[in-house]
Amino acid sequence: MNSVQRNCVDKLPLQSIIMAEQDNTITVSVVAFGPLSEEIPRNQEIQMTKNSTIQDLIISLNLEKWLENGLTVAINGDRCEIERELSNDDEIALLPPVSGG
């Protein structure tokens, strides 16, 4: 086997590992409203592992305190519970509680 063939073969396992890692992730868009946009960017794309939930996303963004304060979450325009699993290309809107009077 010449050196060109050997180099190609040597790279195959690494390439397979990289592809497997990529297949295990999803990308979601996050839009933060109100005071949340002061803590995280207003619009951002985030990579998460497959089977991640909204709660996992909130924890990764360090926004757990908002769960106790009435955070509302919508995926693709529909309100949902934090246990809901995320899918690739979901748009997640993080809505703080409305206050005032």
Q: What pLDDT, in 10s, does the model give residues 52-90?
A: 999 999 999 999 999 988 999 999 999 999 999 999 999
Q: What pLDDT, in 10s, does the model give residues 31-48?
A: 999 999 999 999 999 999
Amino acid identity for residue 18 in this structure:
I
What is the distance between the alpha carbons of residues 78 and 97, in angstroms, rounded to a whole number?
Answer: 16
Q: Where are the domains of the chain?
A: 25-95
Of residues 3, 25, 9, 30, the one with CA closest to residue 94: 30
Residues 25-95, CATH architecture: Roll (3.10)
Q: What is the pTM of this model?
A: 0.74
